[in-house]
Amino acid sequence: MKKIIAANWKMNKTISETKSFFHNFRNQSSLLAEGCEIIIFPPFTSIVEAVRECENTDIKIGAQNCYYESSGAFTGEISAEMIRDIGAEYVILGHSERRKYFCETDEIINKKIHKALKNSLKVIFCVGESFETRKNGKVNEWIERQIKNGLKGLSKENFKNIVIAYEPIWAIGTGKAINAESADEVVKFIKKYLADNFDSESVILYGGSVKSDNVREFMGLEDIGGLLVGGASLSAESFAEIIFASG
Ligand code: PGA
């Protein structure tokens, strides 16, 4: 099974910056380890350009969000159909920034996941606890609730197209990644939960302050199927270093 290295660009990069990223990224070609599946999530406005840049490569492109209706009077929203239409193959759903700044509940995320899967998009579903929750020893309960509600109604077949990203909120963008042992505990908990409750399995990524110097700690863990990288994916050089370090 190939390990996944995914780049979440968040609200960064114009079209010309996207072009220049891929130009630089191609120059790191020797670093594009065959052992990894690379997925890049640009902002909506750069997806078409990114898809074009990645034609005839194995790099996949995804969107950072989608809406749960197909079309209609939903000003500002973009549907799963539209994302598929421009050549993206993945979508990130349940990211903590969407939960926090855009008030996305487990129920909304669940509807989006169903819609994305119906439209043949693969989903990277994010879960993760706050520092407070960790301090109170409630990590497993928290993650269990997010998974139970977020993945409600999915079939065993659906799980082939679901990747789960464990991203502790306090580790995102802070430079303080979780230690590998604690990440491993949560990942193992998720695996067991999926097996017990959905009779399914899924690739599980770690995300939160991943950099080239901590990649090996996470990738060395048997149950971690890859990484979701934010800040360190914005430069082609540092993203390529991460891919190299994970090979
Ligand atoms: P970070 O973001 O790598 O900048 O911590 C990860 C994410 O939000 O997916």
Kindly tell me the burial class for residue 138, based on how many C-beta atoms sit within 10 Å of its own C-beta (0-12, 13-18, 19 or more). Answer: middle
Across-strand partners of 117? none
Atom from ligand 1 closest to the CA of residue 210: 3
Atom from ligand 1 closest to the CA of residue 165: 9
Report the pLDDT value the prediction gives residue 30, as an integer from 0 to 100. Answer: 56
Nearest residue to 227 (alpha-carbon basis) of 97, 50, 239 = 239
| Angle at CA of residue 168, ends 42 and 217, nearest 5° | 85
pLDDT at 31 over 80: no
Across-strand partners of 91? 63, 123
Report the pLDDT value the prediction gives residue 35, as an integer from 0 to 100. Answer: 78
| Residues 78, 202: Cα–Cα separation, whole Å | 26
Over residues 28-42, mean pLDDT: 79
| Residues 207, 172: Cα–Cα separation, whole Å | 7
Over residues 159-181, mean pLDDT: 97
Give the residue carrying structure tokens 């197209």.
161
Q: How many whole angstroms from 171 Cα to the centroid of ligand 1? A: 8
Over residues 110-120, mean pLDDT: 98
pLDDT at 34 over 70: no
Ligand 1 in reach of 110 Cβ (< 6 A): no
- Model confidence, pTM: 0.97
Per residue in 193-239, pLDDT tens? 999 999 999 999 999 999 999 999 999 999 999 999 999 999 999 99
Structure tokens at 231: 């800040």
Q: Whose CA is nearest to atom 2 of ligand 1?
A: 230
Ligand 1 in reach of 173 Cβ (< 6 A): yes
Give the residue carrying structure tokens 């067991």.
192
Report the pLDDT value the prediction gives residue 26, as an integer from 0 to 100. Answer: 86
Positions annotated as catalytic residues are: 95, 167
Over residues 108-132, mean pLDDT: 98
User: 34 lies in which domain range?
Assistant: 3-246
Report the pLDDT value the prediction gives residue 39, as an integer from 0 to 100. Answer: 97
Across-strand partners of 127? 166
- Count how many domains the chain has: 1
Across-strand partners of 37? 4
CATH code at position 219: 3.20.20.70
Report the pLDDT value the prediction gives residue 1, as an integer from 0 to 100. Answer: 79
| Angle at CA of residue 102, ends 107 and 12, nearest 5° | 125
Ligand 1 in reach of 8 Cβ (< 6 A): yes
| Residues 240, 237: Cα–Cα separation, whole Å | 5
pLDDT averaged over every residue in the chain: 96
Nearest residue to 144 (alpha-carbon basis) of 198, 190, 110, 106 = 190
210 and 232 Cβ atoms separated by less than 8 Å: yes
Q: Cα–chain-centroid distance for residue 3?
A: 13
